Structure 1
Amino acid sequence: MKIEVLFPEYCNLFADSSNMKYLQQCLPEAEFIYTDYMSEPVFVTETVNLIYMGAMTEHMQSMVIKKLMPYKERIVELIKQDVPFLITSNALEIFGRWIENEDGTKEKALGIFDFYAKRDMMHRFNGLVRGHFGDMPIIGFKTQFSMAYSQEFKYPFIQIDRGTGMNPKVNVEGIHLNHFYGTYLVGPFLVLNPLFTKYLMKVMGVEQPVLAHEAVIMDAYERRMKEFMDPKVEF
């Protein structure tokens, strides 16, 4: 089993790198390939069981778009082939149509999904999210300078119960198509959502997924879920 982590030297903000640190503890036999920015991604020529990319600076978003644009058709092909992707925080914006700056200028992104991001660098948004993916509860944190917009979010990942979705006017969060899972949530996402982590391992081909430190992480999850269910907690 191969897991490719894209550009870990840059895409590691908000503890997002801990997503793969935890997954590595869950899958000690798996091969984790950490592809640096100067190298060709392994997914271009090989079969992998998961492609992961996490949060980055706004400047790095431009660099990552430039890096991945030649592989756009390959990425689309892999999504159609049900290859799992986990994309967190503002890395999700790389897969939209464009990223708009405060002055109205737009930077073309990969254009794989029909949404765009709009930056407001003078106002960082921080908040909590509680929602569900199917019948699976999902919780997490948001910290971002941008929101995402679309006439219709056709492929939502999380239905929001409390908190802010892709923007304050919609109750959906993230992108889910086949086995592509993209979300603005940070935290790190896999540690905060062990039920989804187990689900993801199944999607990756693990027949009987086992969580590392399962008793501890499930206890923490249940405690946090109780907190997120408290109506007094501000989202």
Structure 2
Amino acid sequence: MNIEYLFPEISGIFGDYANVKIIEKSVPNTNIYYTNLNDTPKFIFDDDIDLVYMGSMTERSQLIVIERLRKYADEISNKIEAGQNFFVTGNAVDVFCKKIVDVGDFQLDEIGSPQVDCLGIFPIEIKRDMINRWSSLWVGDYNGIKLTGLKSQFTTADYVEDIMPLFRTIRGSGMTDSGDTTREGIKYKGFRATYCLGPILIMNPIYLKTLIKEVGYEVDKTFAEDDFCEAYELRLEEYMNPKLKMRF
């Protein structure tokens, strides 16, 4: 499998890089291409990239990433329409949306206005309140597979009805605080994005195998799945306990 990790120097602040490392350990002969800020994304002009990855970043780093990718917005949109596989975690999701609007009393000095125009690939408006961070443990569902995750965000999304979520929230916070609050993430063709941050694929070995299969590969037989599954089952049992406070 060929994976391109976009901007690893700034897009992995919660250990998100472990998501590509666990795929590398799971699938034989996996190649990871690290695309830095001053590089041209490889997947835009190369059809050999099986999966594009980008992870969590600071709000200032978001501005840098948006500006680096803006000139490729049409090409990225075309690649997504053609079925290019993406896996995007944390607030990297926002980069692909329409705009970020500051709704609280604080905004970044660099912006000079309460709005950031993003790549506009998905017609979703992101509301950001940097005075109030909402964090939670999370349990969700993907086609009958239960997942556990961690969330910590200043932002929520105003969905439009024709955008499908990647996951459905069972416990914890979804991606939106209005309407159908079970919606979490974005799923469009091969594009997968979630506000869950950090090493979500390590935390969810069953979904890891499913994702790898969707991309067209199989997990190696020597992969120590039992160890990961034991930890996953214990964590799922803990997170499903109704006495456990999910949001903090």
TM-score if structure 1 supplies the norm length?
Answer: 0.94
Which residue number corresponds to residue 149 of structure 1? Answer: 158
Which residue number corresponds to residue 15 of structure 1? Answer: 15
* Equivalent position to 1:121, from 119, 126, 130: 130
Counterpart residue identity of residue 43, structure 2: F
Measured after TM superposition, the shift of residue 116 of structure 1 is 1.5
1:56 aligns with 2:67: no
Which residue number corresponds to residue 215 of structure 1? Answer: 226
Q: Alpha carbons of 1:136 and 1:45: their partners in 2 closer, same or farther (altered >3 Å)?
A: same
Which residue number corresponds to residue 209 of structure 2? Answer: 198
Which residue number corresponds to residue 225 of structure 1? Answer: 236
SS at match of 1:225: helix
1:67 aligns with 2:68: yes
List gaps (5 residues or longer) in structure 1: none
Q: Alpha carbons of 1:208 and 1:120: their partners in 2 closer, same or farther (altered >3 Å)?
A: closer
Which structure features the higher share of helix residues? Answer: 1
Could you tell me how far apart the structure 2 residues matched to 1:126 and 1:211 are?
A: 36
Could you tell me how far apart the structure 1 residues matched to 2:222 and 2:117 are?
A: 39
Could you tell me how far apart the structure 1 residues matched to 2:222 and 2:81 are?
A: 28
Measured after TM superposition, the shift of residue 22 of structure 1 is 1.4
* Equivalent position to 2:199, from 152, 171, 188: 188
Could you tell me how far apart the structure 2 residues matched to 1:28 and 1:207 are?
A: 9
SS at match of 1:156: coil
Please tell me the root mean square deviation across aligned C-alpha atoms, in Å: 1.6
* Equivalent position to 2:141, from 96, 111, 132: 132
Could you tell me how far apart the structure 2 residues matched to 1:30 and 1:131 are?
A: 28
- 2:171–2:240 CA contact under 8 A, matched in 1: no
Which residue number corresponds to residue 183 of structure 2? Answer: 172
Could you tell me how far apart the structure 1 residues matched to 2:225 and 2:8 are?
A: 26
Measured after TM superposition, the shift of residue 223 of structure 1 is 0.7
List gaps (5 residues or longer) in structure 2: 106-112
Q: Alpha carbons of 1:89 and 1:204: their partners in 2 closer, same or farther (altered >3 Å)?
A: same
Measured after TM superposition, the shift of residue 81 of structure 1 is 2.1
CA deviation profile, 1:122-159 (whole Å, cap 9, x unmatched): 22111011121111112201011211123436211111
Sequence identity percentage: 36
SS at match of 1:191: helix
SS at match of 2:163: coil
- 1:98–1:108 CA contact under 8 A, matched in 2: yes
- 2:70–2:119 CA contact under 8 A, matched in 1: yes
| Structure 1 range deviating more: 70-79 or 188-197 | 70-79
Could you tell me how far apart the structure 1 residues matched to 2:219 and 2:28 are?
A: 14
Could you tell me how far apart the structure 2 residues matched to 1:42 and 1:151 are?
A: 30
Measured after TM superposition, the shift of residue 90 of structure 1 is 0.2
Q: Alpha carbons of 1:157 and 1:74: their partners in 2 closer, same or farther (altered >3 Å)?
A: same
Counterpart residue identity of residue 10, structure 2: Y
Measured after TM superposition, the shift of residue 69 of structure 1 is 1.3
- 1:201–1:209 CA contact under 8 A, matched in 2: no
Measured after TM superposition, the shift of residue 78 of structure 1 is 1.8
Which residue number corresponds to residue 112 of structure 1? Answer: 121
Measured after TM superposition, the shift of residue 121 of structure 1 is 1.4
Counterpart residue identity of residue 54, structure 2: M
